[in-house]
Amino acid sequence: MNVFHDPELRELAERLASPDPGLRRVAVLDLVDCPEPEAVTLLIQALRDPDPQVRQEAAKVVDEFESEDMADALIAALNDSDEVVRNAAAHALSDLKDPAAAKPLLAALEESRDPFVVAGILRALKPLREPAAREPALARLEAGDATIRREAVGLLGWLKEERNLPALIQRARDDDDAEVRRAAVGALVYAEPDSVAEALRQVVSDPHWQVRAEAMNSIAKLNHQDSLPLLIEATRDSTWQVREKAADAIGKLGRVEGIPALGECSRDAMSNLRKAAIGALGAIAHEQCRPYIQTALDDPDPDVRKLARWAQSKLSAA
């Protein structure tokens, strides 16, 4: 057992060494309030406690401590038998963003079979943007478990490498899981717009509305002007969330040709969509927008009216 100079820590260390798991558990609860930096060594000790409830309690509070001091303990906790502990460890590791953690994480990835743990490690690797993670992530794109594929897609997106685009496009188009497709569509935004234009053209007719909505977002982020016809078509999508994102995107592209479609949206029954449409019309700020903005000044929804006033001021400034 470590010897601490701080009396509070010494007392906590004694309680954490108690044979009674209940006492150890309560000691972990008190550990959070201890301001001493050395408290983290006690937390690491608690993460390795034989009692799962003590480990759980420790896992719940890992966020309160500097994660870099306990990277090894967190990686070990990724293989804990208790799911709460594993989850907290993966979560804390993804906050770590310490390049030094990449190596042990990759090693742990190699070892891990449990889908939950694999997904957690991939999520933790993502912000590190570690080039060596590319190969294992590409391999995980074929994993049977959708959460793994989803995290692998996220990781490859963060790497922002041109050569990963074909794999991401394939996921965006053909994955069985809507959430994986959505993540893949969102990950395409680092590409040269023309290289993913064809893929975006295909995913805008995805059966799942969240994928379609994400495609609208991606077109806006890529500022892909040639996709304007897709956006205009999507303003008539059956799901209003997609129509809303399409209206947003037309505003971001700033295209006068989109004004009639936005005008249509500004009369939609769904107030969120009217809001997006007026916002987009204000962003374009063209003389043709004026009648729609004028009408929206009397909209029943106060948010829409507020935005209409802003749009009007943009018009008079233009």
Partner 1 sequence: MPIANHHSAVPVTVDADKCIADKGCTVCIDVCPLDVLWIDESTGKAHMKYDECWYCMPCEADCPTDAVTVNIPYLLR
State the residues that interact with partner 1 by CB under 8 A: 15, 20, 22-23, 25-27, 29-30, 57
Q: Based on the number of CB atoms within 10 Å of its own CB, is 300 exposed (0-12), middle (13-18) or buried (19 or more)?
A: exposed
Ranges of beta strands (E only) in 47-142 are none
CB of 248 to partner 1, least distance (A): 37
Q: How far is the CB of 12 from partner 1 (least distance, A)?
A: 11
Inter-CA distances, 250 with 212, 298, 308, Å: 15, 23, 17
Residue among 62 and 155 whose Cβ is closer to partner 1: 62
**How far apart are CB 26 and partner 1 at their closest, in Å?**
4
Closest to partner 1 by CB, 8 vs 264, is 8
Which residue, 56 or 312, has its beta carbon nearer to partner 1? 56
User: 57 or 206: whose CB is closer to partner 1?
Assistant: 57
In the complex, least distance from residue 31 CB atom to partner 1, rounded to whole angstroms: 12
Nearer to partner 1, 11 or 179 (CB): 11
The distance of closest approach from Cβ of residue 171 to partner 1 in the complex, given in angstroms and rounded to an integer, is: 39
Question: Least separation, in Å, of the C-beta of 285 and partner 1?
Answer: 48
How many angstroms separate the Cα of 84 from the Cα of each of 54, 149, 220, 281, 302? 11, 22, 38, 48, 44
How far is Cα 218 from Cα 286, in angstroms, rounded to an integer? 24
Give the separation between CA 15 and CA 21, rounded to whole angstroms: 10
Task: State the Cα–Cα distance between residues 162 and 40, nearest whole angstrom.
Answer: 41
Q: Which is nearer to partner 1, 23 or 228 (CB)?
A: 23
